[in-house]
Amino acid sequence: MTEPKRATIYDVARTAGVSKSLVSLVLRNSPNVSPARRQAVLEAIEQLNYRPSHAAASLAGGSSRTVGVVIDDYTNLWFVELLRGLQDGLSAAGLRIAVSDRTLNAHIASDPLDGFLSTRVEALVLATEPTESMRIPANMPVVVAGNRAMKIPGADVVASDDRAGARQATEHLLSLGHRRIGHLTGGGGASQQRREGYEQAMRAAGLEALVIAPGSATTEETGYRGTQELLTRFPNTTAILAGNDSMAMGALAAARERDLQVPGELSVVGYDASPLAATHLLQLTTVDSLNSEIGAEVAAALLSRLADPAREPVSVRLAPRLIQRRTTAAPGRR
């Protein structure tokens, strides 16, 4: 038995006994179709196992109905909740999401944007630090997710207030009685703002800021190395605010290596409320940057921008909140 060729819209029309135009209307959920005919078309689609061709629809309609999302690296899981919120907000509008990971693409020396431009994505979501090398077409709608060092002219920005979150986390440690609180920072706009929030809170309390910058990556590895350096230079540190949850995990490792009880002898706070922070092993006090809500707001910004390309860029800022778990307590004897 030879494989039949894939069914086209003509086959569906013939099977349903309607015109090709009517099938197209049903596919795009037009209201001006009688229930009976709609039913006939849907049955024909089911029977023929028909799937409309993206390529043809995109080419003919002049619109791919796809939004490109650029993320940093699959390993840093903050994007998962962002995608969930984004997908929820876009699927009702019939828009789909394509994800591109910069780390993976760097490997094969291909610009993730090239693929998206060939796909003719309707808009771009940047959930990563933009770089000069990203040549974004002037008329491309862009929403930046998260705080970034580089500004994209005309782009909307949706982020939680990293300065306020870091301030809140630092004040939590201060209120527990800590005075020697170190901070682990990294590269990028979010790190910068978190650092500023930490410094503001320390200054307001009349305390010295102890900032360690172990590198631009904000990973378990840099968190580990940064904590080693912090505890070597300032041995009487009693608390650490890490730049994100991955760095906090490294801090916990360094503490264990020095036989420092957490939180008895060293308190540790993360940032992002990633799945990692919620594990039984970490039970990490962290700042929830509301990633799923950021995704929802990104979707809203996207839809309104698509509806009105000329509207002024907006900047949405969400208020983060501290999640207290088991890695923070009053300072012990040290």
Partner DNA sequence: CTGAAAGCGCTTACAG
Residues in touch with DNA (CB under 7 A): 5-6, 8-10, 18-24, 27-28, 32-34, 36-37, 50, 52-53, 56-57, 59-63
Burial class (CB in 10 A: 0-12, 13-18, 19+), 319: exposed
Judged by CB, which is closer to DNA: 12, or 276?
12
Give yes or no for a contact between 249 and 274, defined as CB atoms under 8 angstroms apart: no
Judged by CB, which is closer to DNA: 56, or 204?
56
- Asked if 72 is part of the footprint of its own copies (rule: CB under 8 A), the reply reads no
Q: E strand or H helix at 171, and its extent?
A: helix 162-175
Residue 280: C-alpha distances to residues 116, 326, 327 (Å): 39, 10, 12
To its own copies, the closest distance from the beta carbon of 241 in angstroms equals 18
Give yes or no for a contact between 158 and 178, defined as CB atoms under 8 angstroms apart: no
The helix-helix angle for 20-27 and 9-16 (nearest 10°) equals 110
Q: Where are the beta strands (DSSP E) in the chain?
A: 66-71, 96-101, 123-127, 142-145, 156-160, 181-184, 210-212, 239-242, 267-269, 286-288, 315-318, 321-323
Give yes or no for a contact between 94 and 65, defined as CB atoms under 8 angstroms apart: yes
Pick one of its own copies, DNA, none as the site partner of residue 91 (Cβ within 5 to 8 A by kind): its own copies
Rounded CA gap, 165 and 146, in Å?
A: 13
Hey, what are 3's tokens?
A: 């494989």
Which of 188, 250, 295, 320 binds its own copies (CB under 8 A)? It is 250
- Asked if 27 is part of the footprint of its own copies (rule: CB under 8 A), the reply reads no
Judged by CB, which is closer to its own copies: 86, or 164?
86
Pick one of its own copies, DNA, none as the site partner of residue 154 (Cβ within 5 to 8 A by kind): none
Judged by CB, which is closer to its own copies: 215, or 275?
275
- Asked if 220 is part of the footprint of its own copies (rule: CB under 8 A), the reply reads yes
- Asked if 30 is part of the footprint of its own copies (rule: CB under 8 A), the reply reads no
To DNA, the closest distance from the beta carbon of 133 in angstroms equals 23
Tell me which residues touch its own copies (CB under 8 A). Answer: 3, 6, 49, 51-56, 58-59, 64, 74-75, 77, 79-80, 83-84, 87-88, 91, 96, 98-99, 104, 107-108, 110, 114-115, 117-120, 135, 137-139, 220-221, 224, 249-250, 252-254, 256-257, 275, 279-281
